[in-house]
Amino acid sequence: MNDVKKEKTVPLSSVGADDGQSNQTTVDSIPESEEKSKYDFKEMMRLQKELRKTLDPSYMKTVTMSELYDTAYLNKPAIIDGLLYPGTYLFVGAPKVGKSFLMAQLAYHVSTGKELWENEVRQGKVLYLALEDDYSRLQKRLYRMFGTDGTDNLYFSVSAKNLNGGLFDQLEKFISENPDTRLIIIDTLQKVRESATEKYSYASDYEVIAQLKKFSDRYGICLLLVHHTRKQNFDDKFDMISGTNGLLGAADGAFLLQKEKRTSKTATLEVSGRDQQDQKLFLTRNEDSLIWELEKVETELWKEKPDPLLEAIAEKVTAENPVWDGTVSELRDLLMLDITPNALGMKLNVTAGRLLNEYNILYESRRTHACRRIRFELQA
């Protein structure tokens, strides 16, 4: 058995993903030292214990707080900083309020990587299921909005199967052919649900979004679901979402586009999500291009302060020295930190996602029978 065991990591995990991982081990040779033999025996017993648990149908998988701290979760970064993240989101508004124009705008900016309202955009391929349109209408709309500035990274379809009739197979096929997909827009959610004769309930609404969320989490993408609002007003604007609270309850967040008057060229876009700051944006629609332009935001986004530890690591892992490998104690001494190796290891695990997203440095940790070794690598 190799004397090195990879520490548990959850690479590129999306918010809310709880999929378990299986462990596999092989034996290469008979241990030569007594110390290594003891280590391998303990590891074998641990693996046997884990196997017995997984074979027990009544077993509930749990993790301790210490195990959480001992795991590096490398979540994917925002697609549009401060606005759009991997996960499943509802985008709601009254009919003819301008949702489809804003969807086209989001799709175009993600597919081209161009800034949106001064927010950084991470480029990727986009699939837009425009299920209430036809290709002729899409052509005219896009030409009016963006002129001749086209892109090969934005794909459209005006037809799709429903959720239980093959939609997921279609989406998986698209992603397999386009692995750099970041965003899929379904316009509208109702078009991919079951027959309109079905009686919807909190349970059925929750299940629909839960299925879509499981898909977006598996592939680390954003699913944006266009939906309608009720006619009546509520104190909580998000209670205006048509259907039961099961839709919003299962989603990672929601966007609400509203006008005071149908003929108005101004609107508000309210944003609420599990892992992002609530926002209210004031938009104006350009009368010539029909593009939504940002006028102001109600509250400035909170930004996390720079972390001295990550800054220090970034100074050591550079284009000239793209890899650093050593023990936690060696890193502590190199950076002259007043912290125990155990506490430093925990902090590295907790901040691993930020280190990757903000500094483009991948952090890995592994244990041997003697110590824990860590590795930093600057990504190309």
pLDDT at 6: 46
Query: Considering only CA atoms, which of 159, 128, 131 is closest in space to residue 142?
Result: 128
> Rounded CA gap, 63 and 60, in Å?
10
Q: Do 216 and 209 contact (CB within 8 A), yes or no?
A: no
> Rounded CA gap, 250 and 93, in Å?
19
In a domain, 267, yes or no: yes
> Rounded CA gap, 136 and 43, in Å?
63
**Contacts (Cβ under 8 Å, ≥6 apart) of 121:** 79, 80, 81, 109, 110, 112, 113, 114, 115
Shared-domain flag, residues 142 and 23: no
> Rounded CA gap, 348 and 361, in Å?
12
pLDDT at 261: 79
In a domain, 278, yes or no: yes
Alpha-carbon distances, residue 114 vs 80, 121, 153, 206 (angstroms)? 10, 6, 13, 34
Query: Considering only CA atoms, which of 5, 326, 290, 307 is closest in space to residue 146?
Result: 290
Strand intervals (E) in the chain? 4-6, 9-11, 72-74, 87-93, 125-130, 154-157, 181-187, 222-228, 253-258, 266-273, 276-285, 292-297, 323-327, 361-368, 372-378
Instruction: List the structure tokens of 217.
Output: 């989490």
> Rounded CA gap, 100 and 104, in Å?
6
pLDDT at 8: 46
Shared-domain flag, residues 167 and 213: yes
Mean pLDDT of the chain: 82
Give per-residue pLDDT as tens, 147-195.
998 899 999 999 999 998 899 999 999 999 999 999 999 998 989 986 5
Shared-domain flag, residues 163 and 250: yes
Q: What pTM does this model have?
A: 0.74
- Determine which helix (DSSP H) or strand (DSSP E) holds 196, and give its type and residue range: none
pLDDT at 249: 78
Backbone dihedral region for residue 12 (phi beyond 0: left; psi -120 to 50: alpha; all else: beta): left
Assign residue 250 the CATH number of its domain.
3.40.50.300
297, 324, 357: which is the final residue of a domain?
297
Shared-domain flag, residues 272 and 317: no
- Determine which helix (DSSP H) or strand (DSSP E) holds 42, and give its type and residue range: helix 34-55
pLDDT at 210: 92
Shared-domain flag, residues 101 and 39: no
Domain housing 186? 87-297
Q: Do 236 and 245 contact (CB within 8 A), yes or no?
A: no
Looking at the structure of the chain, the number of domains it has is 2
Shared-domain flag, residues 51 and 113: no
List, run by run, the mean pLDDT of 10-residue segments along the chain (380 residues): 45 41 40 55 72 75 83 82 90 87 95 93 95 94 92 95 93 96 93 69 86 93 86 57 69 88 86 82 91 87 81 92 91 90 89 87 80 85
Shared-domain flag, residues 198 and 329: no
In a domain, 80, yes or no: no
Pairing assessment for the beta strands 181-187 and 222-228 based on DSSP bridges: parallel
In a domain, 22, yes or no: yes
The angle formed by the CA atoms of residues 250, 256 and 259, to the nearest 5 degrees, is 160
Q: Do 272 and 254 contact (CB within 8 A), yes or no?
A: yes
Shared-domain flag, residues 284 and 341: no
pLDDT at 204: 83
Shared-domain flag, residues 59 and 204: no
> Rounded CA gap, 32 and 48, in Å?
22
In a domain, 82, yes or no: no
Shared-domain flag, residues 163 and 256: yes
In a domain, 116, yes or no: yes
In a domain, 81, yes or no: no
The angle formed by the CA atoms of residues 237, 240 and 243, to the nearest 5 degrees, is 145
Shared-domain flag, residues 144 and 163: yes
Shared-domain flag, residues 334 and 277: no
297, 318, 335: which is the final residue of a domain?
297
In 301-340, where does DSSP find H-type helix? Answer: 308-316, 328-335
Give per-residue pLDDT as tens, 22-62.
334 333 444 445 555 655 666 677 777 777 777 777 778 88
Instruction: List the structure tokens of 368.
Output: 């041997």
In a domain, 150, yes or no: yes
